[in-house]
Amino acid sequence: MPVFQLPADPAELATLLPPDDALRSALHDEVHARPSALVTLPALIIYVAVLNQGVSREQEYAHLRQLPGQDGLTLDQLGGNFLRLALTGCTVKWERHTEFTRYSIVQPMPDDALLGLLGPARLGAPAVAPAWLRGTPGQTVAAVALAMVHGDLAHGEALKDKAQAWFGEQTVLASQLGDGHAWALTDFRIADDGFEKMLVIAPSDTTPTRAGRISQRLLELETYRLMALRGLPVAKQLGPMLTSAENALADITALLENKSASDQALLDTLVSLAARVERATAEHSYRFSATRAYSTLVAQRISELRENAVPGMQTLGQFMQRRLSPAIATVAASAERLASLSERISRTSALLRTRVDIATEAQNQLLLEKLTRGQEMQLRLQTTVEGLSIMAISYYAVSLLLYASKALHAAGLPVNAEMATGALIPLVLWAVWRTTRRIHDKFKP
């Protein structure tokens, strides 16, 4: 049996397969579209996520070109929704998503900004110009200053004291990640400078790849948490409308049951209510669906952290479960109420249509009965007219026979005109009646 061998010439390799599908390369490379950054500790990551509604890719491209040394940047480089730019002293990563765009600035930490010193104030300024960061197109939805430093995880109590001092008097959440290879701490509060503070403590042998994965999961966790919560104000705002619509539907159903309102009035009210509910569904269904998707991503990121508790401190996952879950449940309940209300309106509409159809059928039945009675009367009238017509035709026929008999008598024939005509009257009547019957039989179906 011959052994299959790949050709040595790359040009010949292209001829081994059928033509590629138009999406093959794009779909294949999707798993490599947003690789984690390589972060060498100690490092500071300035992270900003902005809503990009109304912000074009061209605007973001123009903003990125304002960075030092990026005059040669082309718009085509932003086609994959991901771009990493190496600048002097830092790396800037740009990622565009459906609803938001993320900017991550990874820069080395100052030598004196260590865990045991004064805390976030000693992190150092962002490596990019503050004016550039402030001029980012869009509206800020998440901003995090993530410090990643070395620390001895074997001395847990001392590490907790230093971390608490780093955050001040705020309540701190902490999780041991994976098999205890790192600690992640945060207070989930926005500081005076507009940034949330996060701290990762890892051993000195932590690889840049692992540090990059940890930073990506933590930053995505916070971004998806905030994006998931965007459905909560919508759900709260929609609550009174849903309550009003449910009460209105209950009133309509009661009127429909008691038959105390006209079908037209019920139909007008129901159509108005259905239009209001369908408008709310069209306006908010995407937000509710997005909340479900983002909450699923939050759960996935928490699972990927593989948390273990730090004694005496609440984990990030526990915080999310207790604080985020009620909000997500509220959004889910509002979405379910909206969908249920739409279905109930459809069922009520079906009931009303059934009632209208029954009433219409009854009216049609009465109309048919009237038409039947009219046809019967018309038939009787037609029969009467037909009888009179037979008599009239017979009269004219007998008159003609009388004239004929008189003519024969005047011609000298021994014919008594009156006697002959009288004798022919029954025959004439029978002939006219028989002719009428034959015409009837001819037009019968």
pLDDT at position 249: 84
Cα(42)–Cα(148) distance, integer angstroms: 5
pLDDT at position 117: 45
Residues in the chain, pLDDT under 70: 1-17, 24-35, 110-125, 260-261, 263, 356-359, 385-388, 415, 417, 443-445
- pTM of the complete model beyond 0.85: no
Could you tell me the residue ranges of all domains in the chain? 35-223, 231-366, 377-443
pLDDT at position 26: 66
